[in-house]
Chain A
């Protein structure tokens, strides 16, 4: 089973991100489940959502306690604590930020946590393509680039289906760029920590 937790703020599409990730996972052949956090709808409030992939139908309704992957859509959430909470040993943390993995760890007080941290300026990329700070597609593309159990095509497809027309295309374009960014980050010499082998081993 792969368990994913998504952090963001109300209005960023955190709940949509989990649902879209589930849809992309389904296209990739997984059994899937997405669970939003259940709060009153207030713009700007911290929001958490969850997603699970598995080979067998998912039965549990427990919130994800030990995520393999954490997506962080707003770097200001790092300082609030909790982003690294419960992270599985050797887990993956993908953060929407223009800063580096080292700075992410510092902000979160997680210098010693055994995890891979990938950074992606998802909101910046999305603003260029979509014009609105809704970084879900870029974040999921970053997930596809680093986790391996969902394809970029699946990510762009679900956004095109949900938002037919210009919005879907803009999301797809943001996803393409984010995917390329992370792939380069993981294979190139950027500041992100990479341990492709460890990630491959965690794939479902």
Chain B
């Protein structure tokens, strides 16, 4: 059933239909609407056989999730920004212990200066925490990704973050079609961990590993992570078969002229300028780029669906021989460039592609279609440098002008 829903509501309902055993909550904007909705469902019974735990910090939210997952229950929590950093130690710990917790990250900037608005700095800061990081292009995918995340995380025994742009998606209302509880029951296997805290089969979890075994432990974790790309792709394929729509996947491709998402879209050509992006800016690019094609600029679009594992092979395949690659990056590696750009650059090492980093939308700065078209035009004309901050106001204190930046209020 197609319905009009706020992104956070869509995620909350979908998570509830995945039947978590324990949901942990600590408020931080912009993820609060998700856990608020789940708290209501826990009380009305829509979220059945589930313990909803209000904790005193994000650190405890992740720690409770660790305990719940280790005890054999499907565990879910949500956070953002400072909250993700506050729980960072436990985030790494969950991955190290192979606990397939699913967590929504409503992506938000990191202070100082404090800023509640969207960018990808929070999840990027934990890119090496050993979690899967899946990015939603829109609210439909944000909801759907949670189903895939539970399935893939539990198969891999690797926890998964579902990243959705804070406010831009969490607070936006769209026309969506949620998977029903029955559909998810049929799609998502029961959580049956190989190892759990079980009085009938006592085990010790979380031992100390010394220099003689730590490297091997990390190597095994690495090997498991190498399996993740295939497992994620397979679950997205199954999702497509079951639900008839695209969700997840490693890399999303788009048709050249209509910018429709299409798995069988041809790779880019040598002469194309290919824009790589992740998250909700993909939608804005879909809307912005057809006009450029009409102008005669040979632009193509490729989306990153899985940031961890980073889909180097699938990305190279989608890029074809594209010489000019423009990465729209929502996080800045100080002194270097976009964070995503670094991963793209590593994936394209040895190819003839030239990578341009365009850092955009930091701290909630709206990303405008015309600004995106302008950088692509310049890339096509050979005028775009290796790093640019989109719509950077130079020469003084930035003063919001009318219109575009009203969302800054």
Contact = CB atoms under 8 A, between A and B. Distances in A.
A/B: CB atoms within 8 Å of each other: yes
Given A23-B4, A38-B117, A85-B402, A59 B286 contact: yes
Which of the four size classes fits the interface of chain A?
A: 20 to 34
A36 B172 contact: yes
Given A38-B167, A60-B288, A65-B404, A33 B366 contact: no
B124 to A, nearest CB: 19
Given A19-B6, A33-B172, A36-B171, A61 B117 contact: no
Interface of A: 15, 18-19, 22-23, 26, 31-40, 45-48, 57-63, 65, 81-82, 85-86
Nearest to B409: A39
29 contacts: A15-B171, A18-B173, A19-B173, A22-B4, A22-B173, A23-B4, A23-B173, A32-B173, A34-B173, A35-B171, A35-B172, A36-B167, A45-B409, A48-B406, A48-B407, A48-B409, A58-B174, A60-B287, A61-B165, A61-B168, A61-B280, A61-B283, A61-B367, A62-B284, A62-B287, A62-B368, A62-B369, A85-B403, A85-B406
A26 B175 contact: yes
B91 to A, nearest CB: 25
Interface of B: 4, 6, 29-30, 116-118, 138, 165, 167-169, 171-175, 259, 280-281, 283-284, 286-288, 364, 366-369, 402-404, 406-409
Contact of B407 (A58, A59, A60, A63): A63
A62 B168 CA distance: 9
Give the 9 A-B CB pairs with smallest separation, nearest first. Answer: A60-B287, A34-B173, A38-B167, A85-B402, A59-B283, A59-B286, A86-B403, A59-B287, A19-B173
B175 A31 contact: yes
B225 to A, nearest CB: 31
Nearest to A58: B174
Nearest to A23: B4
A47 B409 contact: yes
Given A18-B173, A38-B30, A46-B409, A63 B284 contact: no
Given A47-B409, A62-B369, A38 B364 contact: yes
Contacts of B284: 59-62
B288 A61 contact: no
Max chain B C-beta neighbours (<10 A), residue from A15, A35, A62: A62
A47 B408 CA distance: 10
Contacts of A63: 366, 404, 406-407
Contacts of A33: 172-175
A33 B407 CA distance: 16
B127 to A, nearest CB: 23
